[in-house]
Structure 1
């Protein structure tokens, strides 16, 4: 397995696990491979896969319809002390 196959296989798997459909995950993985081929270096040492995953995730989110997007996790709100004006 070479670098390109590794990136394509693992990014597709990560996107499917995040809730994207298989065609969207495959398209994102292909977009990530194209980014890998064009990039001269990573944003920081050892982060080329993370950069490719970020590009694939953004591509998948922008090309998904409302029905294809994975559900977002609800954030728990943190309350500090009492809520009063005085």
Structure 2
């Protein structure tokens, strides 16, 4: 009977050790995902701030040529 009790105690101890290892692995994974999420959030905020404060040079470029483009369709003979 003593060997049976020793085996049961060893199996319970083994289960407890494996539970701690599983919890440690889950905890490590949770920390890794938290760090990746924080870095992604900071990068997203930085990109949004960059896009907000960067001037739109294309808009100014298009406005320079709008007046010239309209003049090409009218000739001196077509004006009333």
* Both proteins in one fold, TM over 0.5: no
Larger relative helix fraction: 2
The TM-score with structure 2 as length reference comes to 0.26
Structure of higher RCO (CA pairs closer than 8 Å, 6+ residues apart): 1
Between structure 1 and structure 2, the one with the greater Rg is 2
The TM-score with structure 1 as length reference comes to 0.24
